[in-house]
Structure formats: C-alpha cells, structure tokens
C-alpha cells in the first residue's frame, strides 16, 4: 500500500528530525533522507544489480603478467652478477594490456 509506505517515511523523517535536534525548516530534507533510507532498507523495491554468475571476469584475467627475463633468460644472473633488467629474479613483469 502506498499509504503504509508514506507512514513509514513520515515516521522515519520524524526520527531523523529528532535525531538532528529538531531543526526548523528542514522537513523536506528529512523527508528525502527518510525516503532514501527506506529504499536502502528495502521498503521500496529498488532495482539492484543481480549477481549473475558468468558475468565474472575469468580468473587470471590478463592485465599484467610475469615473464621470463629476456636479458638473462630467467637465470637472474649475467656473468656472475645480478641481472639489472629483472633485478636478479629472472622474472620481469610485463603489462599485457594497455602497456
């Protein structure tokens, strides 16, 4: 029922008004706030984004990835010293997308 909803909003608006120290001239603000709070609590059915499995991005979505350092071929060392390209790890992070 529409009236029932209005009652709830009015109650809520009243509660907000008291909560804020009963300021004058804020009726509309409180009403709107009450409506929003009511919606958030599901008084009014709001279109919420359904969780649809299958819309999820696949695990391991490319973005950045590790790759074998081309400089040291993944050994992390060149002539006995740490490879500067990968910092001695033998692995470099490459941007797959937008890089």
**Separation of alpha carbons 83 and 73, rounded Å:** 10
Strand (E) or helix (H) holding 36 = helix 27-40
Report if residue 13 touches Zn ion, rule: CB under 5 A. no
How many positions of this chain bind Zn ion (CB under 5 A)?
A: 6
Report if residue 85 touches Zn ion, rule: CB under 5 A. yes
Report if residue 71 touches Zn ion, rule: CB under 5 A. yes
Structure tokens at 13: 């608006």
Q: What are phi and psi of 93, to 5 degrees?
A: -95, 125
- Closer to Zn ion by Cβ: residue 21 or 80: 80
- Which residues of this protein are in contact with Zn ion, per CB under 5 A? 69, 71-72, 83, 85-86
């Amino acid at each position: 029922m529409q009236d029932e909803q209005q009652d709830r909003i009015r109650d809520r608006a009243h509660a907000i008004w008291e909560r804020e120290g009963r300021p004058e001239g804020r009726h509309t603000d409180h009403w709107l706030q009450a409506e929003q709070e009511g919606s958030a609590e599901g008084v009014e059915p709001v279109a919420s984004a359904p969780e649809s499995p299958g819309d999820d991005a696949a695990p391991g979505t490319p973005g950045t990835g590790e790759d074998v350092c081309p400089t040291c071929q993944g050994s992390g060392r060149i002539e006995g010293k740490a490879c500067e390209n990968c910092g001695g790890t033998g692995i470099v992070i490459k941007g797959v997308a937008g890089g």
